[in-house]
Structure 1
Amino acid sequence: MEQKHKQSDMNEIKEMFDFIRENMQVMDGKLSDVIKELRDTKLENAAIKTEIKAQGIKIANLERAIRKKNLIFKGIMEDKKEDFELTKHKTIKICESLGVPMKPEFDVDQVRRIGKQIPGKPRPILLQLTTTNKKFEILGKTKGLRGSNIWIDEDYPKEIQEERKIPRSENKK
């Protein structure tokens, strides 16, 4: 009887081991599937990151292209009831005072104040020119503004503006 009991216990243990082995094989299969899926997801993620980086470069290039004919005029006082025509007249007057002849209908694509209005502080003016030649002609004569509170900058994307704000000594490190 005792041997039958031992045999029965051995059979039970064997069945348990078989059951555990089968479950482990199922788990191994599932784990292999998860690992494969994770590998596929990583590859897909890398491809998406590459595409996003390429799209970012394209967007930055488009933004530079859009801004390449723009100038930003700063320090020009803003009238309370200033409209498009008055803003355009002010920028053209400054350009002409620098010795740059301007024909608004040919040289100016668009002009407007940018940013939030803050009492007592004039907003910058964005001047979109029709040619880059006119832009560089104006920039080349900005020395004529020395001693005034007016200055003219190129219209850079935000990333470049942030880089330019970093003190040059930090930039050299």
Structure 2
Amino acid sequence: MLQSIPEDLSRDAWLAASWKQTWETAGPSRILQYIQDPGDGNDVEELIAKDKRSSSKLSEIDSEVSIVAANIRSFLPKLDYLEGQSRRNNIVIDGIQESGNESWAQSEEKVRKLLSDKLKLTGIEFERVHRTGRSTGERTRPIVAKFFRYKDKVRVMEKAKDLKGTNVYINEDYTDVVRQKRKELIPAMKAARERGDIAFLRHDKLIVHPASQRPRSQKSDT
């Protein structure tokens, strides 16, 4: 669009050029309307002014959208932190056989049996135990167990290594964001281990101890 009259153009020439540029983008319906009712000759100037106002409004909207998007991005880490805190007392158990139409009570009983028989843990109270994910009948869904007390969860996680070789696995209930970060770190962790280093994931961080600097003991969660 021609924003101002160039010095080498007369007003009529400028209007003609603006008219051409405006109508090239006006669309068939607007052109037909002009043919049927050309008006008093001020239509081009009116369209140009209207287009300027529209462009200004769009610019304002773009600016507002950018501000909103920036605010959302700044809140995402906080939301993920809050979600992580809500999962603090949770564990996820994979590998416990699922029954048809299994109830929450049945899921809890299976978890209690696992803890008592395999990990020798009793007296643990749960707030809720249930399968997660959509039931398709093609695979065994994991169980999410939420403890009343965080210290009970710690007891279970400390004994989870005793399930090695049973095809049952107990893990932290991470948020989607943390799970994705851990997934992305796995190749680097494997590469470090191939070099002979001690490498493991802790929450959403990769911890690596060079083989020459191995500590006597190091706790990991993977």
TM over 0.5: yes
Query: Does 2:175 correspond to 1:157?
Result: yes
SS at match of 2:115: helix
Partner residue in 1 for 2:162: 144
Q: Which one-letter code corresponds to 2:186 in the other structure?
A: R
Say if 2:103 is the partner of 1:83.
yes
Q: How does 1:1-173 map to 2 (within 5 A)?
A: 16=12, 33=53, 36-96=56-116, 97-103=118-124, 107-119=125-137, 121-166=139-184, 168-169=186-187
Letter in 2 for 1:53: R
Q: Any idea what SS the aligned residue of 1:141 has?
A: helix
Say if 1:26 and 1:135 are closer, same or farther in 2 by CA, change over 3 A.
same
One-letter amino acid of the counterpart of residue 45, structure 1 = V
Which amino acid is 2:108 matched to?
A: K
- Counterpart CA distance in 2 for 1:26 and 1:80 is 71
2:33 corresponds to which residue?
none
Aligned length: 156
- Kindly indicate whether the alpha-carbon contact (under 8 Å) linking 1:95 and 1:102 is maintained by their aligned counterparts in 2: no
- TM score, norm. by length of structure 2: 0.56
In structure 2, the partner of 1:3 is none
Structure with greater helix share of residues: 1
**Higher Cα Rg, which structure:** 1
C-alpha distance after superposition, 1:134-165 (max 9, x if no partner) = 21221111111011011101111223223333
Amino acid at match of 1:70: N
Residue 83 of structure 2 aligns to a residue in which SS? helix
The one-letter amino acid paired with 1:163 is K
- CA change 1:69–1:17 in 2 (3 A) is same
CA RMSD of aligned residues (A): 3.4
Answer whether contact 2:95 2:168 (CA < 8 A) is retained.
Answer: yes
**8 Å contact kept, 2:127–2:147:** yes
